[in-house]
Structure 1
Amino acid sequence: MPVIELSDVSRAFTVTSRAGLRRTKREVRAVDGMSFTVEPGEVMGYIGPNGAGKSTTIKMLTGILVPSGGSIRVAGVDPSRHRLKLAKRIGVVFGQRTTLWWDLPLKDSFAVLQKMYDVPMARHRENLATFVALLDLGELLDVPVRQLSLGQRMRGDIAAALLHDPEIVYLDEPTIGLDVISKARLREFLAEINANRRTTIILTTHDLDDIEALCTRVMVIDHGHQIFDGTLDGLKSSQSAPRTLVVDLATSLPPIEVNGATVTKVDGPRQHLTFPPTTSAAPLLAQIAANYPLVDLSVSEPTIESVITQLYAPTPS
């Protein structure tokens, strides 16, 4: 059975604007006719530009907002009608907000959460020991939250969201502002939690490296509408984003001329050529090797950044 079910869900807001003495109201649909399901243990990236409707969807899934139309069931219940019941079955992390107590040491925040969620003490200690080890929180437990760096606080927030063994975790920009090492540590932790505990994860982020590292499924939305739902490979192939051939020559030369590829960048003896994703690289390599002083080469697949950019590019009129 799916752990998340949305059927024709919409959420509208009334926006008031003023021109002189006249006020006008208009309806804005942040989410419009959204339908999808999420299976237990999935890691789904929920992505789109600012204003696409991502945060509105998450707020409806957690019961903070009530849909204007359609129906939602999360872990078998209606989120807006059973917020307290659902709270024990979900975890939420908002990258720019904390659920920890600002002036308390980190360990005291964890202790308060154990009481709030009524987690058996033995299970709380077991989870806490696991998360402290995986997230390297040992030296931070006695530090007030206000003294933690952003990366340290984020690790604390993620531990806090998982201490009560939620079935579903919503992560909204969990790596925002973090350094490379902190991001890698968080990604490894989330992958391990998903693999070992089958925790369902919904990830909204602008950091597409998070999506590539963690997600088995990607849903792309724009102006409240779903425009793609599938695997990362499916997303890339849907846009026919070009592959890149990086060629190192023995010396600097004018742009390489080969059938089926176009030089997009020349950097001394290194040249970058793009070619269609459906084209085999082998004929291109044979042409270059036969006609140019080839030293080394590599083939790069399309990045998710280039695919998303192409997906949102305006359609030529």
Structure 2
Amino acid sequence: MEKIIQVDQLRKEFKSFSSRSGLKGAFRDLFTRNYKVIPAVKDISFDINKGEMVGYIGENGAGKSTSIKMLTGILTPTSGIVTVNGMDPHKEREKFVKSIGVVFGQRSQLWWDIAVQESFRLLKKVYKVPDDVYKKHMNHVIESLDIAPLLDKPVRKLSLGQRMRCELAAALLHNPSLLFLDEPTIGLDVLVKLKIRNFLKEINEKYQTTVLLTTHDLTDIEALCERVIMLDEGQIIYDGKLSKLKSNWGEGKQIEFQFADVEISRMKLNPLLTELEAEWTRGDRQNVWVANVLNDEHVISEVIGRVVAAHKITDIKIHEISTEEIIRNIYEEGAINA
């Protein structure tokens, strides 16, 4: 398969100034400064094929944004090789940016005080998109994202959800083969998120657009991506199918108990799980506790039987362990083998 992104031993280090303590130290800093080298990305390697939709996830400070900036040519790597669409993003920047689309949830590529359609026309000239191609492609994008009523409004007059749909349309104006999405649904309501997800699926199927999605909203990952790349402290700790991650780490179930006694405590509940591979976590209310158990009929029945026999229960729910819970457990326990 055609490789859109190729990363080999990619590394990025930053120099950080370390000040000395006290007046004497401050005086010495005027003449000689102490620096320490901080590695933000540590020799990562991966390939992404044409048409893939990949979730790029990790905690704050894991190295996601730094590596995305190297992939888009904003930052120069300290060492290693990065090739995107057959080009070096930093050395061939002018040609390279015409082949990608980028949406940053916290930044805008639209002009704040002019109408959305005027921003689109300016970007059309920047990317040198022919009139007939622009009209055909953008009519489809505008209809799919339902932004026709917004075209004559200044960007500053749009709500967050409206602006993000227009940002996505702007990123796809030149129909790029690769789309970088950094928190594209942050702060959006459920209906807008659904519209954006459906549209991304549609362009992926229609144009084989490759998507690299960075987000903390794991429902976006579950809805769009079969593959995830997980970073921790600048290193890749998992690269593979989301289904494999869930099957390997999400084999348990969660039994949610709502107790009649609002004073119920872990001390009272712990003895009920003796000799069972299970543990308690507090729920979203004072009288709600969750038993995390193995996906085993005997264990599940035993836990429910013991709890119901010992305490008055007003409600019981059994849940599959969520992707969010799986990811949280992985980070708490350290690293995993891909």
For normalisation by structure 2, the TM-score amounts to 0.82
Once the two structures are TM-superposed, the CA of residue 225 in structure 1 deviates from its matched residue by 0.7
Matches within 5 A, 1:133-148: 133-148=143-158
| Cα distance per residue 1:152-172 (max 9 Å; x no partner) | 111101000011110100011
Counterpart Cα distance in 2 of 1:268 and 1:29: 43
Q: Report the CA distance between 1:176 and its aligned residue.
A: 1.4
Equivalent residue, structure 1, for 2:99: 89
Letter of the aligned partner of 2:332 in structure 1? A
What letter matches 2:300 in structure 1? L
Q: How far apart in 2 are the matches of 1:151 and 1:269?
A: 36
Is 1:300 paired with 2:300? no
The amino acid that maps onto 1:275 is: V
1:275 aligns with 2:276: no
Equivalents in 1 of 2:108, 2:143: separation in Å? Answer: 21
Aligned residue number for residue 9 of structure 1: 10
Aligned-residue RMSD, C-alpha: 2.9
- The answer as to whether partners of 1:260 and 1:284 remain within 8 angstroms in 2 is no
Separation (CA, whole Å) in 2 of partners of 1:303 and 1:284: 17
Residue number among 171, 175, 188 corresponding to 1:161 in the alignment: 171
Which among 30, 47, 59 is matched to residue 37 of structure 1? 47
**Contact 2:115–2:151 at 8 Å: present in 1 too?**
yes
- Mapped to 2, the partners of 1:118 and 1:34 lie a distance apart of 35
DSSP-derived class of the 2:153 partner: coil
Counterpart of 1:211?
A: 221
Instruction: Answer whether contact 1:167 1:199 (CA < 8 A) is retained.
Output: yes
**Cα gap change, 1:40 to 1:264, in 2 (>3 Å):** same
Tell me by how many angstroms 1:64 deviates.
1.4
1: distance between equivalents of 2:162 and 2:251?
37
Residue aligning to 1:311 = 330
Question: 172-181 or 36-45: which moved more?
Answer: 172-181
Amino acid at match of 1:281: E
Deviations 1:254-297 (A, max 9, x none): 96958565565688998743212xx3336634885899699996
User: Which residue number corresponds to residue 231 of structure 2?
Assistant: 221
Distance in 2 of aligned mates of 1:71 and 1:109: 35
Q: Are the counterparts in 2 of residues 107 and 142 from structure 1 also a CA contact under 8 Å? A: yes
Residue number among 290, 300, 313 corresponding to 1:284 in the alignment: 300
- Count of aligned residue pairs for this structure pair: 312
TM-score by length of 1: 0.87
Partner residue in 2 for 1:198: 208
Question: What is the percent sequence identity of the aligned residues?
Answer: 42
Match of 1:151 in 2: 161
Q: How does 1:45-194 map to 2 (within 5 A)?
A: 45-194=55-204
CA distance 1:220–1:291, change in 2 (3 Å) = closer
SS in 2 for 1:313: helix
Residue identity opposite 1:204 in structure 2: T
Report the alpha carbon displacement of residue 113 of structure 1 after superposing the two structures with TM. 1.3
Which whole-Å CA distance do the structure 2 matches of 1:290 and 1:226 have between them? Answer: 42
Maintained 8 Å contact 1:46/1:202: yes
Describe the SS at the equivalent of 1:79: coil
Report the CA distance shift for 1:2/1:150 in structure 2 as closer, same or farther (over 3 A).
same
SS of equivalent to 1:177: coil
The letter of the residue matching 1:212 is E
The amino acid across from 1:10 in the alignment is R
SS at structure 1 position matched to 2:229 = strand
Shift in alpha-carbon separation, 1:222–1:292, aligned structure 2, 3 A = closer
